[in-house]
Amino acid sequence: MNLAEILVYTDIRQLHQIANHYGCECNPHSKNELITSLLSSLRHRLIISQEVEQLTMGETHFFLLLFLDRRTAMSLEDLMAKAGIVLESNKEKKQEEARRHIAAAMRRGWIFPAKSKTVGLYQIPLDIREPYLQGWLEKWRGEHRLLTPGPDAYRDEGTALCDDIMQFLQFLQQEPLPLTAEGGIYKRHQQQLFQFLHVKEKTLQPQKWRFGYGLHFDLYPDRFSLLYDFCYFHKWIEEAEGRVAITDAGRERMQLSYEDQHYHDLIRFWMRLYKRAIPNLPMLVQLIPLIAAGGWVSQQTLLDTLLPWIKEFYYDAPADILVNRVCKMMVHLGLLRVGQDDHRQWLYTATYASQTWLRKYNGFTETTILLK
């Protein structure tokens, strides 16, 4: 629902709270005047700009988690989970502070109880999401600089990862591959296989500190690890009797022609697989293309902007998570292009895929995957 429709059904007490927050001058006893005044305030570009400017780092984080989520209704548990991502307090204090974030968002007119038979649902007016996100982006662009033109050369991997899934299945179709005692493909076979893939990677020594991002993340390089896990999850390959082999389902998959849906399924799978380690991943995947649209943004600028909203994951520091687990994988998935400037500084820009399909897709609703 849009703001005007929501305000009609909103409790008079919340209307007073919002009016007090924005300093609206109107007759507080007239609901009609309150609604008219609030419609003007909440949609006014200058007021939106001022509101975004005054947000603390934590409030901005919560705001982005709310407004980048495209669900039309959320439960109190959903809102509490978003506030929990922002906070680092102990469990008891965390719930209290989370409720404060939600209450503040209601005073700002961002969240309203939904007019629904289901008790405990909340909604964000559809027509204020884009103005507020644009208000934040204008503030960000006032503080940071997009580079145009970009680097002389850049890498755009497009849907190459989907093509390489087919290459992997074709490779296994020749003959199954034996597995080491650790459960990985032997390095010599990996090297042979990698020669057929669009993006060349180096084999890894088994590294037990690499975990949390897939079944054999300790044995395979990042891109191939995702490719392997995607095939394993869909049962196109199986590990049995000390070897990995293609299945009947894998052979059937090879007979199908490429469809965009296969590419979209791969992106969804990556988000579900990595979301457990990076709870903020849905926000980051939506926000980075917004930042990197219309020009090139440096890796350092992304670090300066996003690092406060990323928490370490065991061995992975926040900077490593952003660079290696998010940006690097978004390049592999065709959501970002990457290049280097004359000073060998890494630069990123959004691709067509991230500006179209990704804007319609809501990663916040995806459940996590834990492969075993």
Q: Hey, which bits of 147-267 come out as E strands?
A: 154-155, 177-178, 237-240, 243-246
CB atoms within 10 A of CB 167: 17
Give the tens place of pLDDT for each residue, 192-250.
999 999 999 999 988 888 999 999 999 999 999 999 999 999 999 999 999 999 999 99
Fold type of domain 3-135: Arc Repressor Mutant, subunit A (1.10.10)
**SS3 call for 331:** helix
pTM of the model: 0.94
Strand order in the sheet with 154-155: 154-155, 336-340, 346-350, 297-298
Percent of the chain with pLDDT over 70: 98
Rounded to the nearest integer, the mean pLDDT of the chain is 93
Across 300-312, average pLDDT: 96
Give the tens place of pLDDT for each residue, 172-194.
999 999 999 999 999 999 999 99
Residue 95 pLDDT level (bands cut at 50, 70, 90): confident
Q: Confirm whether 3-135 and 260-365 share one CATH topology.
A: yes
pLDDT for residue 92 is more than 70: no
CB atoms within 10 A of CB 320: 14
First to last CA, the chain: 42
**Structural domain boundaries in the chain:** 3-135, 160-255, 260-365
CATH says 260-365 is which class? mainly alpha
